[in-house]
Structure 1
Amino acid sequence: MLNFVLFTLIVAAGTGGELSVSRAMKSVGEPVSFHPAEIGRVALRAIRQPWMWAGVGMMALAFFALLGALSMYNVSFVVPVTALSYVAGAFGGAAFLRERVTFWRWIGVLLVTIGVTLVFFGKS
């Protein structure tokens, strides 16, 4: 049961964090130049975004769950199973950020899912 909780936290919190940071940065916008003053202005706008802080918090939670998983399981099992975050990211990008996910990306998501399933069932 603990392994289910850890892997769910890694995937859900990690992906949720990435989606939240992406949403924050889309509202901040990109820098118009790479001068230090412009980068500083963008960074200050970013840290004022609530979505940024929510994302950082979720990503920290996912990181500590990953540490817990790595303390109990082989890295050759943990890393492939956490690839489910790619699947969650595609669904989250489409649903939460209203991104267009192409047919070929969905094929890639399917292949990742098949790969994770093979790793999971070959765990022994």
Structure 2
Amino acid sequence: MNRTIVILLHIVCQVFGDVWLSRGMRNIGAVNVIDLGSFIAIAIQFLTSPWIWLGIAFLITSLILYLVALSRFDLSYVLPITAFTYVLSTALAIFILREHVSAPRLFGTCIITAGAFVVGWDEQKQSR
């Protein structure tokens, strides 16, 4: 697998894992770990939620792809490029989770995207 495919797959799996976990937690509700009875009830809900399991599966896949990327490429390249997860997370939060994203949050996401683009562009320039 080439660099772009490995990192893009990692990003997609990371973001979808987070989205599915968020959806699962919204179905479960607020967690109170102080009360043992509530904790056991919530643990049962965790274990029976298909959204939680789907999120875990995506995040495990993401971790494996991240380890593959780290075994092949410099951390100083991989980590900034994975900042694209913020962009995709924001988009999916809006379209799948129906979250309202404020203008400052959206602006911050654009700044992160610009930084990741600069890192990727610099790496492309150096590899020629």
Q: TM-score, normalised by structure 1?
A: 0.94
1:37 matches 2:21: no
SS at match of 2:98: coil
Once the two structures are TM-superposed, the CA of residue 33 in structure 1 deviates from its matched residue by: 5.8
1:57 matches 2:67: no
1:38-58, Cα deviation, whole Å (9 max, x unpaired): 112112112111111111000
Q: Distance in 2 between matches of 1:117 and 1:33?
A: 41
How many aligned positions are there? 124
Q: Distance in 1 between matches of 2:115 and 2:73?
A: 18
**5+ long unaligned stretches in structure 2:** none
Once the two structures are TM-superposed, the CA of residue 98 in structure 1 deviates from its matched residue by: 0.1
Once the two structures are TM-superposed, the CA of residue 16 in structure 1 deviates from its matched residue by: 0.1
Mean CA deviation greater in 57-66 or 30-39? 30-39
Q: Distance in 1 between matches of 2:22 and 2:99?
A: 11
RMSD: 1.2
Once the two structures are TM-superposed, the CA of residue 36 in structure 1 deviates from its matched residue by: 2.4
Q: Distance in 2 between matches of 1:37 and 1:79?
A: 40
Runs of 4+ residues over 6 Å off in structure 1: none
SS at match of 2:77: helix
Q: Distance in 1 between matches of 2:114 and 2:33?
A: 42
Letter in 2 for 1:101: V
Letter in 2 for 1:116: A
Q: Which residue of 2 aligns with 1:110?
A: 110
1:77-104, Cα deviation, whole Å (9 max, x unpaired): 1000001101111001000000000111
SS at match of 1:85: helix
Q: TM-score, normalised by structure 2?
A: 0.92
Q: Which residue of 2 aligns with 1:46?
A: 46
Q: Distance in 2 between matches of 1:110 and 1:23?
A: 24
Q: Which residue of 2 aligns with 1:99?
A: 99
Letter in 2 for 1:102: S
- Asked if the contact 1:30/1:42 (under 8 Å) is kept, the reply is no
